[in-house]
């Protein structure tokens, strides 16, 4: 995000689930205060329709809500802006009922027109997530609280797709009035609203006084008054800030310091399952990675065991896939071994002419820098010319989006609990992001993904995704490094902290016992 596991059908059960907050840990809930979180990624924008980076997404998840939302684990789905829905027997339409009386954070009522506007925006084929709504043929108003979605073909992942941050329901009036201002402070229905946003520094959010969900004490969520999400790319700074009490929670603890963080007085170490894969993005549109032999060579020359020890300190699992372990991950796909002889042979057989490879990493990310150093050593031993370059994460990701890169050590997470999002965004070459900036395109894979999207039988879907996994992975799509869990540190007075599988954290459910 099981985002692969499933989805409630709506109705009375759906309403009950949608209203149920995370169960509070022992102790009487205390309201108020400010929670400060140190993050590794900056928010590039808060407009759900234009971003695809986690720095932005995880902020947006606190401010904006779709019709259907991830549950408290990220593995299931619960009602959001919609209180219930009804699906047609033929699988070609679904009707959503908007919550009675739900309001935006500016106090304006949410209307069917807002829903139609938002879903029309996200389903735009030219948008970053338009691919996730290709089967959507029409969005129609039935009455003042009901909207109907009609599909051209059955779409097994529809409800999961509708839980995307990019499918958030926003104010049509506010967005159309000034999209740029909206991207700084969205008018939406989430538990928080923006107080201030300074790009490259922090996002400060305050409670939405019109939020619809109640906490365990019967009062509207969130419990805290304010949340400060700070951009702290340097790992040691996040550790020291946690230790000194500057941060209540620090994300992405450096794994070589995980044990010491766990030993801090009054601090807990969280190791949480994730839909995340650390990997090296390869640009198939630039030399030398336009040659499949070179792409395979860098895989055979990647000493993943050394990276697991030196970088990850045993946290995680060496991957056999081009995407994270979501619902239909297959353990039957044979992993590419570390084999320097094969790597050298592939380079010799390739068209490689000595073109320097710039291996890009984020400034301040010591773990990725170490991984890049190990990769550099192996790739050079195989006969490739490699130099490591560093950019701040915003610049690096922007360069990746624009195709101005060769190789980039980074990661990806799934935003929903179904394989369709990442399988499509990464492997389908006809999408707006060009197979997530890789320029990979294979007709057979495109057809398999289309079949999987329309297949309702889970076993058959699993077979189709396994075939895609095998073909894309062994084509040298990327250099997968680790199925990495989330490893965070937080003070014990932070109650209900949890990193859900889709990557973010429900700050609405957290309270401070101090």
pLDDT at res. 52: 86
Residue labelled with tokens 């879903």? 119
Burial 266-297 (b: 16+ CB within 10 A, else e): ebebbebebbbbbbbbbbbebebbebebbbbb
Region at 405 (left for phi over 0; alpha for psi -120 to 50; beta for the rest): beta
Cα separation, 2 vs 502, in Å, equals: 10
pLDDT at res. 3: 24
Beta pairing, strands 407-413 & 357-362: parallel
The closest of 383, 355, 385, 360 to 371, measured between CA atoms, is 360
Cα dist from 101 to 80, 83, 97, 145, whole Å: 13, 11, 12, 10
Q: At 154, is the secondary structure helix, strand, or coil?
A: coil
pLDDT at res. 25: 52
Q: At 181, is the secondary structure helix, strand, or coil?
A: helix
> Domains in the chain, ordered, with CATH?
24-40+191-273+486-513 (3.40.190.10), 64-180 (3.90.76.10), 276-483 (3.10.105.10)
Token digits of residue 370: 């170490």
Token digits of residue 368: 């990725």
Whole-structure pTM value: 0.82
DSSP state, residue 329: -
Q: Three-state secondary structure along 445-472?
A: HHHHHHHHHHCCCHHHHHHHHHHHHHHH
* CB-based contact 365:401 (threshold 8 Å): no
Task: Detail the DSSP E strand segments found in 152-240.
Answer: 192-198, 202-207, 226-231
Q: At 318, is the secondary structure helix, strand, or coil?
A: coil
* CB-based contact 24:496 (threshold 8 Å): yes
Cα separation, 121 vs 142, in Å, equals: 19
Walking along the chain (514 residues) 10 residues at a time, the average pLDDT comes out as 27 32 64 97 94 93 97 91 96 97 98 98 90 94 98 94 97 98 98 97 98 96 98 94 98 94 97 96 98 98 98 97 95 98 98 96 92 98 98 93 97 91 92 91 96 93 97 98 97 96 94 96
CA 151 to chain centre: 25
Q: At 236, is the secondary structure helix, strand, or coil?
A: helix
Q: At 366, is the secondary structure helix, strand, or coil?
A: helix
* CB-based contact 57:503 (threshold 8 Å): yes
């Amino acid at each position: 995000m099981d985002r692969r596991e499933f989805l409630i059908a709506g109705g009375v059960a759906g309403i009950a689930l949608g209203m149920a907050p995370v169960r509070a840990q022992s102790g009487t809930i205390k309201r108020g205060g400010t929670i400060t979180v140190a993050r590794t990624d900056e928010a590039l924008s808060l407009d759900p329709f234009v971003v695809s980076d986690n720095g932005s997404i995880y902020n947006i998840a606190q401010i904006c809500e779709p019709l259907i939302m991830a549950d408290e684990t990220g593995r299931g789905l619960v009602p959001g802006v919609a209180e219930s829905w009804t699906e047609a027997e033929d699988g070609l339409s679904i009707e959503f009922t908007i919550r009675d009386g739900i309001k935006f954070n500016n106090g304006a009522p949410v209307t069917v027109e807002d829903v139609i506007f938002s879903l029309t925006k996200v389903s735009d084929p030219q948008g970053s997530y338009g691919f996730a709504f290709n089967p959507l043929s029409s969005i129609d108003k039935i009455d003042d609280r009901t909207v109907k979605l009609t599909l051209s073909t059955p779409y097994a992942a529809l409800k999961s797709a509708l839980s995307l941050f990019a499918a958030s329901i926003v104010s049509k009036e506010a967005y159309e009035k000034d999209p740029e201002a909206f991207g700084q402070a969205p008018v939406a229905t989430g538990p928080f609203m923006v107080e201030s946003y300074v790009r490259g520094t922090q996002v400060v959010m305050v409670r939405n006084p019109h939020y619809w969900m109640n906490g365990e004490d019967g009062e509207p969520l969130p419990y805290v008054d304010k949340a400060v999400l700070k951009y702290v790319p340097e790992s040691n700074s996040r550790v020291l800030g946690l230790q000194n009490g500057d941060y209540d929670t620090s994300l992405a603890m450096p794994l070589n310091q995980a044990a010491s963080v766990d030993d801090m007085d009054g601090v807990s170490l969280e190791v949480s399952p994730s839909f995340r894969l650390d990997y090296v993005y390869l640009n198939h549109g630039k030399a030398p990675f336009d040659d499949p032999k070179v792409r395979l060579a860098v895989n055979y020359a990647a000493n993943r065991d050394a990276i697991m020890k030196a970088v990850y300190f045993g946290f995680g699992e060496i991957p056999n896939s081009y995407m994270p372990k979501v619902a239909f991950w297959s353990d039957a796909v044979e992993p590419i071994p570390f084999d320097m002889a094969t790597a050298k042979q592939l380079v010799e057989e390739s068209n490689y002419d000595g073109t320097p490879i710039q291996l890009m990493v984020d400034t301040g990310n010591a773990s990725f820098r170490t991984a890049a150093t190990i990769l550099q050593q192996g790739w050079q031993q195989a006969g490739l010319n490699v130099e490591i370059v560093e950019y701040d994460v915003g610049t690096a990701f922007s360069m990746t989006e624009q195709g101005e890169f060769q190789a980039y050590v980074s990661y990806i997470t799934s935003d929903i609990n179904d394989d369709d999002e990442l399988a499509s965004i990464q492997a389908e070459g006809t999408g707006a992001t060009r197979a997530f900036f890789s320029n990979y395109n294979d007709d057979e894979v495109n057809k398999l993904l289309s079949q999987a999207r329309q297949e309702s039988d889970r076993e058959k879907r699993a077979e189709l995704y396994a075939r895609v996994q095998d073909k894309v992975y062994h084509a040298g799509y990327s250099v997968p490094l680790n199925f990495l869990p989330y490893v965070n540190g937080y003070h014990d007075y932070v109650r209900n902290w949890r990193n859900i599988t889709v990557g973010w954290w429900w700050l609405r459910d957290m309270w401070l016992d101090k």
